Amino acid sequence: MTLVHNFPFFSILLCMAAGIFTSVLKQRAAKALTFAVVAAVLVLSALTLRLTLTLEDAYAFMMGHFPAPWGNEIRIGRLEALMATGFSAVMLISLIAGMWHTPTVVSEQKVNLYCIMIDLALAAVLVLIYTNDLFTVYVFIEIMTIASCALVVVRQNGHTLVAITRYMIMHLFASGLLLMGIAMLYGITGHLLMVPLHDAVAHIVQTGEHMGPLTVVIGLITAGLTIKSAMFPFHGWAPDTYAFAPPLSSAILSGIISKSYIFVLIKFFYRVIGMDVIVSQQITPFLFVCGVSGMIIGSILAISQRDIRRMIAYSSVAQIGYIYMGLGIGTDAGVEAALFQMLVHAAVKSLLFLSAYELINVSGDRKRFRYLHGAGYRNVPAGIVFTIAAMSMVGIPFTGGFIVKLNLAISGIAMGGWMRALVLIALALSTLLNSVYFLHTVVSIYRKPTQEMEYPQVQKTPPHVAAALFVSALFIIYLGVGSEPILRVIETGLRTFS
Q: 248 with 102: CB under 8 angstroms?
A: yes
Question: How far is it, in rounded angstroms, from Cα 441 to Cα 216?
Answer: 44
Smallest separation, CB 20 to another protein (Å): 5
Nearer residue to another protein within complex by CB, 158 or 416: 158
Task: Closer to another protein by CB, 260 or 435: give it.
Answer: 260
**Minimum CB separation from another protein for residue 182, in Å?**
8
* Cα 398 from Cα 406, distance rounded (Å): 12
CB of 380 to another protein, least distance (A): 26
User: What single letter denotes the amino acid at residue 498?
Assistant: S
Residue 213 vs 436, nearer CB to another protein: 213
- Distance CA(88)–CA(122), nearest Å, equals 8
Min dist. Cβ of residue 400 to another protein (A): 30
Q: Rounded to the nearest whole angstrom, what is the least distance from the CB of residue 489 to another protein in the complex?
A: 25
What is the full DSSP assignment across 460-486? PPPHHHHHHHHHHHHHHHHHHHSHHHH
Cβ proximity to another protein: between 149 and 409 the closer is: 149
Report in angstroms how near the CB of residue 45 gets to another protein at its nearest: 18
Find the shortest distance in angstroms from Cβ 178 to another protein.
10
Shortest gap between Cβ of 154 and another protein (angstroms)?
6
- DSSP letters along 358-424, please? HHHHTTTS--BGGGGTTHHHHSHHHHHHHHHHHHHHHT-TTSHHHHHHHHHHHHHHHH-HHHHHHHH
- Residue 469's Cα: distance from chain center in Å? 18
- Cβ nearer to another protein, comparing 164 with 265: 164
**Beta-bridge mates of residue 131:** 74
Task: Rank residues 32 and 183 by Cβ distance to another protein and give the closer one.
Answer: 183
Question: Is the Cβ of residue 182 or residue 427 nearer to another protein in the bound state?
Answer: 182
Q: Smaller CB distance to another protein: residue 76 or 275? A: 76
Per DSSP, the residues of 3-46 read: TGGGHHHHHHHHHHHHHHHHTTS-HHHHHHHHHHHHHHHHHHHH
Nearest to another protein of 79, 137 (CB atom) = 137
Are the CB atoms for 369 and 306 separated by under 8 Å? yes
Sequence-ordered list of residues with C-beta below 8 angstroms from that of 23, at least 6 positions apart, any chain? 112, 113, 116
User: What does the alpha-carbon distance between residue 374 and residue 165 come to, in Å, rounded to a whole number?
Assistant: 36
Whose CA is closest to 317, among 392, 246, 250, 254?
Answer: 254
The residues with which 76 forms a beta bridge, in sequence order, are 59
What's the min distance (Å) between Cβ of 69 and another protein? Answer: 5
